[in-house]
Amino acid sequence: MKKSLKERLAVLSDAAKYDASCASSGTAKRDSSKSGGLGSTEGAGICHAYAPDGRCISLLKILLTNFCIYDCAYCINRSSSNVERARFSVEEVVWLTLEFYRRNYIEGLFLSSGIIRSSDHTMEQMVRVARELRTVHNFRGYIHLKTIPEASPQLIEEAGLYADRLSINIELPTDTGITRFAPEKRPANIRRSMGELRLKIEAAGEPTLQTKKRKRFVPAGQSTQMIVGADGADDAAILGTSARLYGSYDLKRVYYSAFSPIPDSSKNLPLIKPPLMREHRLYQADWLYRFYGFSVPEIVEGRPGGMLDLDLDPKLAWALANRQHFPVDINRADREMLLRVPGLGTKAVKSILSSRIHRRLRLEDVKRLGVSIRKVQPFVTAEGWSPRRLAERADLRSLFEPKPQQLSLL
């Protein structure tokens, strides 16, 4: 008997939850006030709900189908798994997206799919959803499509006209990992698809001879996801791969997804608690690389086994290992050095730079910018403040480490 829409929604959203991305930000601004129709995107994304796993729900994240001819060991939808299978029609996905959007549950759609019949067949179905939303229903909300590396360039081209973001998952940080756990996927094809997409996005960004207006093509760029903890790759390898992906393909984001046990899991993979803290540290390191001027070798230098410190955030760990650079003078240091002070974020640094033109800053002033004084005080000097002995304490690290868990008595 055919499953009801609600039953299939349950199966196909359960199957989609291992994709970490839910971003709806960074795309072109548009709305429906002049064009009519439904929807808008205004730069910043909106999270319409949060699940108890702490993740934001911004998009309707579903699969078109969870039937799949691939057998990737880490994936809930692999062909050898016995999970319940279901599929939506193109019309059903379009209907769900519009009805959810009208009730302000979501910012738009993140559509992915198991691979059925062929890469092109699957990609074509996904493109049809996006095309109908845009051209038939005049939908102006956010669309993220997962693309299939082997799909034909024409389909990717068309997908890019309707979607705000396209993504191809790199899945695992090393080529050997991919070959081992995703036997049907080719790391070289994944990289080539990302490269082609970058070239297409750049070509669309060039003004044409006829008009100054640029073609709208994947305005929110491309992203990818890496699973952490399924293979043996260390943090240094993972961050090295991220840096290469950012540099090579102009990715807007690399998502890290702590490998999480899945129903009917493959025998080849550990059933472990997902390494959530490791995932968190990787995101912090990723930020240091992208916004704070750190290189990957600096971040992982001297770390045993190439693994980040789980107890301390990577910036604090770096500062403690490089005490010769501190204390930093809040009133004189340049931006690059202020960004390296634990506890100072990009916004706080900006505020410090604009405030100190007009007056010399004291620690209290820095506190008013929303900065944790406990965290910054050993690393900075300010008007009326010098850390003196605090900065030289051998046990400085212990001030920041999480308190040891007290043993309970029986």
Partner 1 sequence: MIHRAVLKGRGDFAEWRHRARAFLIAGIEPQAIDWQDASMEAGLFGSEETPLPPPAEGNAIPVPAAFIDLATAVVCHSDPGRFDLLYRLLWRLARERELLQVRADEEVARARLMEKSVRRDSHKMTAFVRFREIALPAAARRSFVAWFEPDHHIVARTAPFFQRRFNDMDWVIATPRGTAAWDGDRLTLSDEPAVKPEISDDADELWRTYYANIFNPARLKVKAMQAEMPKKYWKNLPEASLIPGLIADAEARVLAMAKRQASEPLAFHDRLQAAARAAPIEPLPPAGTLEALRTEARGCTRCPLHCKATQTVFGEGPENAAVMFVGEQPGDQEDLAGRPFIGPAGKVFDAAITEAGLDRRRLYVTNAVKHFKYEPRGKRRIHQKPNMGEVQQCRWWLAREIDLIRPKLVVALGATAYAALTDGREKLGDVRGRAMTLDTNRLLFVTVHPSYLLRIPDARKSQDENRRFVADLAVVGDLMRGLASSQEKSMAG
Site for partner 1 in 176-235 (CB under 8 A): 184, 188, 191-192, 194-196, 198-199
Q: How far is the CB of 189 from partner 1 (least distance, A)?
A: 9
- Does the footprint of partner 1 cover residue 236 (CB under 8 A)? no
By CB under 8 A, is residue 36 in contact with partner 1? yes
Among 92, 120, 234, 250, contact with partner 1 (rule: CB under 8 A): 250
Min CB(40)–partner 1 separation in Å: 4
Please report how close the Cβ of residue 78 comes to partner 1 at its closest, in angstroms: 8
Instruction: Write the CB contacts of 203 (distance below 8 Å, at least 6 apart in sequence).
Output: none
Query: Which one of 44-52, 204-212, 334-342, 399-407 is the stretch in contact with partner 1 (CB under 8 A)?
Result: 44-52
Question: What is the token pair recorded at 285?
Answer: 């390191």
Binding mask 55-94 for partner 1 (x = CB under 8 A): xxx--xxx------x-x-------xxxx------------
Which residue from 28, 89, 91, 99 is in contact with partner 1, where contact means CB under 8 A? 99
Query: Which residues 6+ apart lie within 8 Å of 73 measured at CB?
Result: 180, 181, 182, 230, 266, 268, 269
Q: Residue 91 and residue 75: Cα distance in Å, rounded? A: 26
To the nearest whole angstrom, how small is the minimum distance from the Cβ of residue 141 to partner 1? 8
Tell which one of 128, 204, 265, 337 touches partner 1 (CB under 8 A).
265
- 247 versus 302: smaller Cβ distance to partner 1: 247
Touching partner 1, residues 144-173 (CB under 8 A): none
Q: Which 304-363 positions form the footprint of partner 1 (CB under 8 A)? A: 351-352, 354-355, 357-359, 361
Of the candidate residues 49, 277, 310, 390, the single one contacting partner 1 (CB under 8 A): 49
Question: Of residues 218, 258, 317, 344, which one binds partner 1 by CB under 8 A?
Answer: 258
Judged by CB under 8 A, the residue of 117, 273, 323, 332 near partner 1 is 273
